[in-house]
């Protein structure tokens, strides 16, 4: 714990963080269920096949 954080506040923050993580997981799973791999690949097929600019190379 940092500084003057009470144990109650620590527990409340930990619970809130866990709920947030679970909600995020549920949201991402819902998006996955609605998605289509074929649609995603068709969108990627529309991207031009050109090399990246010099400033964008790794």
Residue-wise pLDDT for 19-50, tens only, equals 999 999 999 999 999 999 999 999 999 999 99
Which residue shows structure tokens 């993580």? Answer: 21
Average pLDDT over residues 46-58: 93
Predicted TM-score (pTM) above 0.85:
no
Closest CA to 16 of 4, 5, 8: 8
Which pLDDT value is given to residue 16?
A: 98
Q: Is the pLDDT at 1 greater than 80, yes or no? A: no
């Amino acid at each position: 714990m940092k500084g003057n954080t009470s144990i109650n506040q620590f527990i409340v923050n930990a619970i809130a963080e866990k709920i947030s993580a679970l909600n995020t997981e549920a949201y991402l799973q819902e998006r996955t269920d609605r998605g289509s791999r074929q649609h995603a690949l068709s969108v990627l097929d529309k991207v031009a096949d050109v090399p990246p600019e010099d400033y964008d190379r790794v």
